[in-house]
Chains A and B, each alone.
Chain A
């Protein structure tokens, strides 16, 4: 009973303080909203007026008409004309062009040959958002004579340079839930204990009968609710603005998010028992944030990473969450399919929470 009451006291206090801290309160709504819109659009928006290059080795009526048709889509502006594919790749490496179209000498014959693509589209894969246009252009129809069976197959063969993996917003946005939560949750709790110390409240707090575990539970509980609100905001924007289909169950999605939120909050608490100042706490937070983004599979495909990086990634909660959330949202997976990531997140939570509880001392020395 006392246990519950003391936790309750901390929760009420945290909520009241949070409500009075306008900036932090704004960040709770603002950060996810801003990030999802910026991130989502940068990735998903129709790409237009890309600088492109063309090599027309056929130089026939149909090849010229084909070039005009591509330009008519407004996706590519041909600013470079070259006489070989190698020439285009050189210009791409220099950053002058993002895409290149290579029309082979036997273009006319390829047009009626359903087994081969008529032309080649070269893409600068180092810029991930460019990859999306490949999909648009591949679906382009080219009406050269009457519609024959030839046009039904791919007109363009896509060759992706510098980055063999092509990704879509559908893949990015669910993982964004994790990336955004990872930032805000760790940040909120990493300053939780340090702030008490910096504002001089800690000396009072540690002479009360509050127990470590009660303090820690009281500190994270309000943020669990905030985390779930953030999940809802990101989901709403994802569904309304980016048409993200949710294949799996909403309940699984929220339950998975809840476990991830608890894991990241406990990481923040653990950081908070190490840091001496709020500034240090933020530095430590970012120290964990960057590897999370890079190694979690959010940016680069996890399976493509070297073994060492994969091990490192496995230590980070975001890795498991990205795997879990993509499974639920995109593949309709359930917890029984995703037990290993669920278990990993739970273990992470228990370990970090234990560190926080054990490291927090009700003493000044």
Chain B
């Protein structure tokens, strides 16, 4: 098994009855990097993460995590990985400190290391003043910091974070990501799932999942430059009508409205796309300004999911 990768998965598949939640997913996740899973709800992100940490049996496929075969050696992995559930899963009726003590004991930290690590993480994640407060009374951002503090107590080599920021305000999200980068600096590999484009953009590498299928993967910038479409920015006072006009053309694959602007994706092979679109809009009597623009990650996402998510 290649030691450069923290996780290698091939043809990973999971079926629930007749539904295929994850379909033939192949992954190579490098060490000490933040690897993102981007996809809408129900795209198979959680199911994939759960299979990677041995919580769900794959219906098909091979998984190797930190050189160990999963699910066979899942128990051996427990001590080396940290998994943060989508929903807050520490004990709400225990205090911050009691929760951390519990986790530290369960992971077998001796008394000295337990005290040291808890103290470190309380400070690091700004929880010192809440130490004796019940976890259930914390805010969304505080809970999530507690969850991260708990999951990193035993200094795992690999962190699996399932939509960690979905219930958190933007400022807390920023702080959270700073903390993640600090962890990768120390050598921790992080796999994080999200449905936020801005978060996906921050990842070192990214996999886009749609309906259980891995539709694109790579470095975010490469994904943007390798997009299978030309992206055009259209500034107009009549965005709705402009959009209707553009969508009638067969070579326009998707149009996204951004306030008074539109992002249109057209076939890569289209000659002189700017003037073609400008002409269409002028002919329809619409005032608009068309120019090319680099693809955003959202464009990549729309293109990768077969333009089916482009509406809206």
Instruction: Name A residues whose Cβ lies closer than 8 Å to a Cβ of B.
Output: 2, 5-6, 8-10, 12-13, 16-17, 20-21, 199-204, 206-210, 362-365
Contacts and interface: CB of A to CB of B under 8 A. Distances in A.
Interface in B126-174: none
Nearest to B80: A209
B187 interface: no
Contacts of B81: 207
A209 B106 contact: yes
Contacts of A201: 89-91
B79 A364 contact: no
B2 to A, nearest CB: 25
Interface of B: 50, 53-57, 71, 74-75, 78-79, 81, 83, 85, 87-94, 98, 101-103, 105-108
B56 A365 contact: yes
Nearest to A209: B78
B253 to A, nearest CB: 38
- Which 5 pairs across A and B sit closest by C-beta, in order of nearness? A9-B105, A204-B89, A209-B78, A207-B83, A2-B108
Contacts of A363: 54-57, 71
Contact of A208 (B71, B78, B93, B98): B78
Nearest to A6: B106
A16 B93 CA distance: 9
30 contacts: A5-B108, A6-B105, A6-B106, A8-B105, A9-B101, A9-B102, A9-B105, A10-B106, A13-B91, A13-B102, A16-B94, A17-B91, A200-B88, A203-B55, A203-B85, A204-B83, A204-B89, A207-B53, A207-B55, A207-B83, A208-B78, A208-B103, A209-B75, A209-B78, A209-B79, A209-B107, A210-B106, A362-B74, A363-B56, A365-B56
Q: Which of B57, B94, B105 has the largest number of chain A CB atoms within 10 A?
A: B105
Given A207-B53, A209-B79, A364-B55, A17 B108 contact: no
Contacts of B57: 363, 365
Contacts of B108: 2, 5-6, 209
Instruction: Count chain B CB atoms within 10 A of each CB in A16, A21, A202, A204 and give the residue with the most.
Output: A204
A199 B94 CA distance: 13
B54 A208 contact: no
Contacts of B98: 13, 16
A361 B87 CA distance: 20
B21 to A, nearest CB: 11
Contacts of B101: 9, 12
A203 B102 contact: no
A13 B94 contact: yes
A362 B105 CA distance: 18
A356 to B, nearest CB: 18
A13 B135 CA distance: 14
A201 B85 CA distance: 9
Contacts of A210: 106
A13 B99 CA distance: 8
Nearest to A211: B75
Given A208-B78, A209-B75, A17 B94 contact: yes
Nearest to B59: A365
B256 to A, nearest CB: 36
Nearest to B95: A16
A202 B88 CA distance: 11
Contacts of A12: 101-102, 105
Contacts of B55: 203, 206-207, 362-364
Contacts of A199: 91-92
Contacts of B106: 6, 9-10, 208-210
Given A13-B91, A200-B85, A364 B50 contact: yes
Contacts of B75: 209, 362
A204 B103 CA distance: 10
B93 A21 contact: yes
Contacts of A203: 55, 85, 87, 89
A200 B89 contact: yes
B93 A17 contact: yes
A202 B83 CA distance: 12
Contacts of B93: 16-17, 20-21
Contacts of A2: 108
A207 B78 contact: yes
A201 B88 CA distance: 8
A10 B71 CA distance: 25
A95 B304 CA distance: 83
